[in-house]
């Protein structure tokens, strides 16, 4: 079974609106993934809805506003915005564009998204964790159930150096959940059921559940990526 691999450069609309990198047409079992760019002085959509967001900021800085309260955000931040919270992100950090990826449960796309300009929220605060603060001797979970997330674990995978492979002893692994991955930098291959697929920075990758797969970095550069898994994966090896 082949993965879905889609690069932001190929999917970004000419008008600069968000790029739907993993969408309903891809039959994702867990979530969709969107890339968006907020120019200086601009904002993300101002809305409120019943589902949560998980957002990773690739570059830039600004302010997340949730129910009228301001929270500074910057590159490397993982943001969990609970459902039923009025929210938007303002690019006022003075560092050029904000580039970010965002996942949503399938109901968000199935319902057409939030069609409003915000409203009265619950007041529940967001959770903001930066990958630079991870204790990698413990793990690489940026957002998990300890943070109150109901559906998805966000991982900032350990950087994969040149000539490294994942699960080297076993030749790969499989599990009952899918992976939704965004490649932050570098290039590599993902081998699925014996077939190798090239990936590079800016690629979103949907790895189906229950397929044997392995990441291989046969280049001279480092591979960095963010991965989203179903919450059930917390009790198993990632």
pLDDT at site 238: 44
pLDDT digits (tens, 9 = 90+) for 108-123: 999 988 888 899 999 9
Total-model pTM = 0.95
pLDDT at site 237: 52
Residues 53, 151: contact at Cβ < 8 Å?
no
Edge-to-edge order in the sheet of strand 61-66: 69-74, 61-66, 87-90
In angstroms, the CA 186 to CA 49 distance is 35
3-state secondary structure (DSSP) of residue 24: helix
In angstroms, the CA 99 to CA 34 distance is 11
Strand locations in 23-143, DSSP E?
31-38, 53-59, 61-66, 69-74, 77-81, 87-90, 98-105, 127-130, 141-143
The CB density around residue 23, as the number of other CB atoms within 10 Å, is 18
Low pLDDT (below 50) residues in the chain: 238
Tokens at residue 57, please?
């900021």
Q: Give the domains, in start order, of the chain with CATH numbers.
A: 11-108 (2.60.120.10), 148-235 (2.60.120.10)
3-state secondary structure (DSSP) of residue 235: helix
pLDDT at site 139: 87
pLDDT digits (tens, 9 = 90+) for 23-42: 999 999 989 999 999 999 99
In angstroms, the CA 60 to CA 125 distance is 22
* DSSP state letter for 131: G
């Amino acid at each position: 079974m082949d993965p879905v691999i889609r690069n932001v450069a190929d999917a970004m609309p000419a008008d600069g609106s968000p790029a739907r990198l993993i969408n309903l047409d891809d039959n994702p079992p867990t979530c969709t993934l969107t890339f968006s760019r907020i120019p200086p002085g601009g904002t993300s959509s101002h809305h409120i809805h019943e589902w949560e967001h998980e957002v990773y900021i690739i570059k830039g800085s600004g302010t997340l506003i949730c129910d009228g309260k301001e929270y500074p955000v910057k590159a490397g931040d993982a943001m969990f915005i609970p459902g039923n919270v009025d929210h938007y992100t303002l690019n006022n950090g003075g560092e050029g564009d904000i580039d970010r990826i965002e996942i949503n449960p399938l109901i968000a796309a199935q319902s057409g998204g939030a069609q409003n300009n915000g409203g009265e929220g619950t007041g529940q605060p967001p959770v903001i964790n930066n990958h630079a603060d991870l204790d990698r001797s413990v793990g690489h979970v940026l957002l998990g159930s300890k943070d109150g997330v109901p559906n998805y674990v966000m991982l900032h995978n350990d950087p994969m150096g040149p000539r490294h492979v994942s699960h080297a002893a076993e030749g790969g692994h499989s599990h009952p959940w899918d992976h939704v991955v965004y490649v932050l930098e570098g290039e590599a291959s993902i081998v699925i059921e014996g077939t190798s697929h090239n990936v590079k920075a800016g690629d979103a990758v949907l790895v189906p559940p229950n397929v044997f797969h392995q990441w291989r970095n046969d280049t001279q550069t480092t591979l960095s990526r963010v991965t989203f898994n179903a919450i059930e994966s917390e009790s198993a090896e990632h």
